[in-house]
Amino acid sequence: MGRVQGKVALVTGGASGIGLSASVLMAKEGAKVVIADLNEKEAKDAAEMIKNQGGEAIGIFLDAGKEESIRNAIETTVESFGTITVLVNNVGLTNLHKDLDVVNLDLDEWDRLMNVNLKSVLLGSRFAIPHMIKAGGGSIINTASMAGLTGDSTRSAYGASKAAVVNLTRYIASQYGKDHIRCNGVAPGLILTPAAQNNMPQAVLDIFAKFNALPYHGEADDIGYTVLFLASDESKFITGQTIQVEGGHYMANPSISDFNDYLAKSQS
Ligand SMILES: NC(=O)c1ccc[n+]([C@@H]2O[C@H](COP(=O)([O-])OP(=O)(O)OC[C@H]3O[C@@H](n4cnc5c(N)ncnc54)[C@H](O)[C@@H]3O)[C@@H](O)[C@H]2O)c1
């Protein structure tokens, strides 16, 4: 029996990276999976791949920036597989060029990121929850980010949208827990999805490697397995939480290594 046997999962942004990993892992463990993505072809290709591996999946179009499209994705899931019991609100956008510090960020970009990163979580949950209640319960999993738990010199809109996702997670968990609906988040640090791997300069990778407690980078499956756990009944007493999956990068006081250097020098 698979870890999520019999569950019906919709994964937004499921055609690549973290969403694809979560989709493949949940399908391997017995869930019926709907991969919903702006890139419809890649969503359908991913579903084909899952079917070739013996799983059950369909790929559909979704624009997470549009209310009607989100409603359609939920309805298509229910029409195709009879219900929805797992919703992975995974779509999230960032923009290094327009989403800057508070004085200089582009306000249209602020609105776009709040819409796609935050409002999509609200709407996906709003449309899925009545079906989950009918089904006797469910699990909502939101992809947040460590950028929603820390401050930074730039990407203010991204960070604020992800911080709001962390707290919306608590509100959903508070409001629907008695209906057996759990809501949790996962906050990735730097994850080397194929897209990130191709675009990330070595110098940036080296900085992350230096500050990770662990001697390696995060991969999509590190988040995918966390989503699988939160989707499964193994996590049945966990709700309202956002699990940090970040290699210990943000765990220690960053001044410690400089302080140790200072101590070593002053003692020599
Ligand atoms: N990769 C990281 O280092 C990292 C770190 C922290 C948080 N995250 C978060 O993880 C989530 C997934 O990131 P990823 O790195 O796997 O991204 P990715 O770029 O590999 O995949 C994102 C997917 O979302 C789809 N998509 C984009 N806009 C969409 C829209 N409007 N509607 C529907 N689908 C859309 C894309 O087509 C793509 O398939 C995001 O919420 C991101 O903010 C990622």
Return the best residue to mutate from 60, 111, 145 for the ligand 1 pocket (most ligand atoms within 8 A of CB).
145
- List the 138-143 sheet strands across, edge first: 56-61, 32-37, 8-12, 86-89, 138-143, 181-188, 242-245
Predicted confidence (pLDDT) at residue 89 exceeds the cutoff of 90: yes
Region 33-53: mean pLDDT is 98
Whether the CB of 47 sits within 6 Å of ligand 1: no
Nearest CA to ligand 1 atom 43: 92
Give the model confidence (pLDDT) of 203-239 as tens digits.
Answer: 989 988 889 999 999 999 999 999 999 999 999 999 9
How far, in Å, is the centroid of ligand 1 from the Cα of 90? 7
Looking at the domain 8-267, which fold is it? Rossmann fold (3.40.50)
Q: Based on the residue annotation, tell me whether 158 is a catalytic residue of this protein.
A: yes
Whether the CB of 92 sits within 6 Å of ligand 1: yes
Tell me the percentage of the chain whose pLDDT exceeds 70: 100
Residue 268: predicted pLDDT: 81
Give the model confidence (pLDDT) of 70-86 as tens digits.
Answer: 999 999 999 999 999 99
> Kind and range of the H or E element at 60?
strand 56-61
pTM, 2 dp: 0.97
Q: Name residues whose C-beta falls within 8 Å of residue 232's C-beta, 6 or more positions apart in sequence.
A: 3, 4, 29
> What's the rounded Cα separation, in Å, for the pair 220 and 52?
21
Predicted confidence (pLDDT) at residue 195 exceeds the cutoff of 90: no
Of residues 113 and 210, the one with the higher pLDDT is: 113
Predicted confidence (pLDDT) at residue 61 exceeds the cutoff of 90: yes
Mean pLDDT of the chain: 96
Name the pLDDT band for 254 (thresholds 50, 70, 90): confident
Predicted confidence (pLDDT) at residue 139 exceeds the cutoff of 90: yes
Give the model confidence (pLDDT) of 3-33 as tens digits.
Answer: 999 999 999 999 999 999 999 999 999 999 9
Relative to beta strand 138-143, strand 181-188 is parallel
